[in-house]
Chain A
């Protein structure tokens, strides 16, 4: 399978300190790649650097066979990325946010596809962001990642703050989009979703790869999620 993204020896620094070190990974096109790890293990920094929101301090980042490690703007243009919900501008309506990223609402609806309904966006369009709860903001932020029509999307812990119905619907919609060719990279804390929905992944610890999660490993995890969870917790604890 062709790689949509290939990282080799990448390092990400924050405040002059490396938070991700000499990391190698490859994400196949049209797959869901899950990143797990303890708090502070470097998941968010890695995803932000991939999406051009942070610079890489070193290494190679090839996106669809183009070397973009030194070009933040080009990386930001390649990926759909959900900004943190609490940074969305209070003084805009949900409709304004989506139109700002994706053009007209018709275009946004077409680009977000099944995600639009899963997030229940129709009922939110006229709400002010300032009046939205954390869960509603999270829905808008996820929709913004899809509104630009990107085929590579990064979501950092997308299921946080969502109610159980929204989690179920969104997970199914994301999986459907992946089946249709989307390449999705998500940071997750939910081992059940990792086992049930992701194709491949990795576990980060202290900014380094603690474990690579192959397709076969995750299929086996899907078959026996309890055993998988127990094993992962043991590794995370250590």
Chain B
């Protein structure tokens, strides 16, 4: 029994309606809409300016990476949403039909492709031949990995995820990450200095991203249990201290101050991002908080790009603004 065309589209239309209503609620005030519109224009203008100042090859690499990441992220989001519809959703019977799943994926990726195409056209139209195939390849990879994952392993994977997340916040995780950086510096000893700096920079970003992961329910629980903002930040950032204390001096000794500066900058940026997320999670639901942090991160990136000396002031102003509001939330339910 196949779902009729109208019924197949029902699931996707439901999510469109939810997304529309959520966006309306998030941008309810005139000032919110103006701010969001302004930010969008500024981000697109900065993107256009960045791509215009680079050679086609560099732009193509960036479009390839960005497109593939967007495809994987969209594919994973769509798979997670379909899984939710099939287990806890209102239209589970519809969501469990393969034809509805195919229709939902096509429609959702259609929106993803349209957004990416618009951004690419604004940034640099000639990169469309790179960004769109990269998106589709990323989406295909996400779809294949979701199909290959055994369905019964979902809960085991979730439990493994919890275990890893808890471990990542222990000091041992920071020491392990620093040891990995040291090991890679030893292993890549024959490469050029520039290549080693690039490798250590990428490693530092990946390691600090993992070490500063933030769990929304944990932040909400700690807030309701009466923990202040900085205590929650300290709880989430425990593993960063040993990483900074070991990785920065090691990199300095082996590769010099430039590489150490890159590692320190990665640590600082990720700690800032983590702190903003924690403060925002104390104030808002996860989706809106993530949107808010993305806007603030975009503002900081623009400041760093256009007026670097103002970056610390802008970062402190954002932290102070969030902290002032978040402080009032301690002990409060909802």
Contacts and interface: CB of A to CB of B under 8 A. Distances in A.
Listed residue (A48, A73, A84, A88) with the most chain B CB atoms within 10 angstroms of its CB: A73
A76 interface: yes
A57 B89 contact: no
Given A13-B152, A16-B153, A55-B151, A96 B17 contact: yes
A206 to B, nearest CB: 18
B146 to A, nearest CB: 16
A36 B284 CA distance: 38
A72 interface: yes
Interface residues of B, number: 28
A91 interface: yes
Interface string B56-91: 000000000000000000000000000010111111
A73 B96 contact: yes
Interface in B29-76: none
A124 B152 CA distance: 38
A84 B92 contact: no
Interface in B147-168: 151-156, 158-159
Contact of A89 (B18, B152, B153, B159): B18
B18 A92 contact: yes
B96 A72 contact: yes
A146 interface: no
Given A52-B92, A53-B86, A72-B96, A91 B21 contact: yes
A81 interface: yes
B90 to A, nearest CB: 5
* B contact patch SS: helix
A125 interface: no
Contact of B155 (A14, A73, A87): A14
Contacts of A51: 92
Nearest to A96: B17
Nearest to A140: B90
Given A15-B156, A55-B151, A91 B18 contact: yes
A85 to B, nearest CB: 11
B187 interface: no
A92 B17 contact: yes
A16 B155 CA distance: 8
A197 B141 CA distance: 52
A229 B270 CA distance: 57
Contacts of B159: 15
Interface string A1-21: 000000000000111100000
A120 interface: no
B328 interface: no
B90 A97 contact: yes
Contacts of A13: 152
A110 interface: no
A194 B127 CA distance: 66
B90 A73 contact: no
B22 interface: yes
Contacts of A14: 155
Nearest to A71: B96
Contacts of A88: 90
Nearest to A14: B155
Interface in A6-55: 13-16, 48, 51-55
A54 B92 CA distance: 11
B96 A52 contact: yes
B183 interface: no
B151 A100 contact: no
B14 interface: yes
Interface of B: 10, 14, 17-19, 21-22, 25, 84, 86-93, 96-97, 151-156, 158-159, 285
Given A48-B87, A57-B152, A92-B18, 11 more contacts: A14-B155, A15-B154, A16-B153, A53-B88, A55-B152, A73-B93, A73-B97, A83-B92, A90-B285, A91-B18, A101-B90
7 contacts: A15-B153, A73-B97, A76-B86, A92-B18, A100-B14, A101-B91, A144-B90
